A and B are shown apart, each in its own frame.
Chain A
Amino acid sequence: MGFERLKEFRRVALDLDTSGEVTVYVYTDLPGEDMRLRHSETVNTELTTTGRRKAEVRLPGTIKGRYMQLKVGGAAEVRLFAARVLARVLGSSDPWTWYPVPVELTPELFGTAALPIEPTPESFAEARLPIEPTPDGFAEARLPIDPTPDGFAEARLPIDPTPDGFAEVRLPIEPTPEGWATAPLPMRTTRELRTWVTLPVAIVE
């Protein structure tokens, strides 16, 4: 791109939707070779519509420059769909022409976005249940029988061992006492004094 030619600007058209009043600022580099604010104007689409509309800013006839800069600001929400500028080359017989201002495109159609939901398959899937498979052949299981050993084992019989020496055993014989013991005889004692005893005698005639 070479050096830009000198142009004069007449209008700025905006396709927008605002929630309140906003200001459109127009900057150019002339006079003075310095980008300065040359014109500003408020726009409020809420005054005529609740949605989107075209707003046109008429510029004073003195606005010219090689470059133009636009700014939109304010305390409202702005949805800007398009912008263009009516301009022509100064000192030429070229007609007034609308020049588009680069604004990110708003698609006319809505696009579709798939939500992150796992798709449900058309057919059923197989899932193995936790059941042990039945083997084709039989398996061996060891019964709880102790194996018979090859040799004989020793087992101790419950017989007490014979001691090497003799042990003493006390016999049940009462020991003979050293002295004599006294034993009373079973006899009645004789009384010392005689006594008379009356005998019952009967007379026989």
Chain B
Amino acid sequence: MPLERVKEFKDTTFKYDAPAGWALEIKRYMTGTGLTVWQTINFPASSGVRTYTAPLDGLEAILIKLKAMSTGVVRLHGGVIRFRAIGVYFDGANGEIWETQELGFGI
């Protein structure tokens, strides 16, 4: 499997039913820091099935891991997350660089 690129995450949407509400813990994996907790989002309680979108401000990650938690019953019916891959991302603190090939530009 090739190395995963760094992604920028915009938001996540869940369709759920949770009378006591619930929380979503997001862990992110980046080179240098490993897998760490980035953010915990509280989703409001619902009296039936509802859809809720939570922003993911500034979340950049190679991999993410999600964990749903609640003090009550949670019924998850679906969920999506929006993201885009960043063209080139590197962290100089890890000794990473960006370097091209020798470019002739076709002329």
Contacts and interface: CB of A to CB of B under 8 A. Distances in A.
Contact of A117 (B77, B99, B102): B77
A72 B98 contact: yes
Interface of A: 1, 4-5, 7, 20, 22, 29, 35, 66-83, 85, 87, 89, 99, 101-107, 109-115, 117, 119-120
A35 B4 CA distance: 31
Contacts, number: 132
A95 B77 CA distance: 59
Given A113-B80, A113-B83, A119-B78, A103 B88 contact: yes
Contacts of A72: 97-99
Contacts of B85: 104, 106-107
12 contacts: A70-B103, A73-B96, A76-B93, A99-B105, A104-B5, A106-B84, A107-B84, A110-B8, A111-B82, A115-B14, A117-B78, A120-B78
A17 B10 CA distance: 17
Nearest to B11: A110
Given A7-B105, A85-B105, A115 B83 contact: no
B99 A69 contact: yes
A114 B76 CA distance: 13
B72 interface: no
A119 B80 CA distance: 12
Interface in B86-107: 86-93, 96-107
Contact of B87 (A71, A80, A113): A80
Given A68-B103, A72-B97, A77-B92, A109 B84 contact: yes
Contacts of A101: 100, 103
B6 to A, nearest CB: 8
Given A76-B93, A79-B6, 15 more contacts: A4-B105, A66-B104, A68-B103, A70-B99, A71-B98, A79-B88, A99-B103, A99-B105, A105-B87, A106-B86, A111-B84, A112-B81, A113-B82, A113-B83, A119-B78
Contacts of B45: none
A5 to B, nearest CB: 6
